[in-house]
Amino acid sequence: FSMLAQTVPPMLEIYLKEHRAATFVDWPFVSDCACTPERMAEAGFIHTPSENAPDVAQCFVCFKELEGWEPEDDPMEEHQRHSPNCAFLRLQKDTAKLTLQELLKLHKERMINLSKKEINLKIIELEKYAANVRNEVSSFR
């Protein structure tokens, strides 16, 4: 997989540790600490900052988001503590060394988790919409 890094389709680049590490632009912990971009990427994280949370990191497989990082935080330990059933963690293997079967299984888990996340966001959106409709209907009484 790593030898093919130059020809990896864009949707699979996230499986490459180097690609994940490159997402840590403006990451506050770059040296003399446990949560460097390289170690974050090794633990499966990508940097997904927002205006209110500049240090948010998210696992690319289980989509668990963690923030409030401290220099001494070990990314692998934090990931394990907050998402012990993550398929990426269960592999215990560098993604560059995955067999095709392992890669496909991991990708399947990622897609299942992505679908669940998107469905949950839609549910929240629909619940808000339903609450607004109920409020409007009750105002007609």
For 127, the 3-state DSSP assignment is helix
Give 16-42 pLDDT, tens digit per residue: 999 999 999 999 998 899 999 999 999
For the chain, give every domain's residue range.
Answer: 2-110
Name the fold adopted by 2-110: Inhibitor Of Apoptosis Protein (2mihbC-IAP-1); Chain A (1.10.1170)
DSSP state for residue 20 in the 8-state scheme:
H
Chain mean pLDDT for the chain = 92
Radius of gyration of the chain from Cα atoms? 18
Q: How many other C-beta atoms can be found within 10 angstroms of the C-beta atom of residue 15? A: 22
Taking the model in full, what pTM does it have? 0.83
92, 103 Cβ separation under 8 angstroms: no
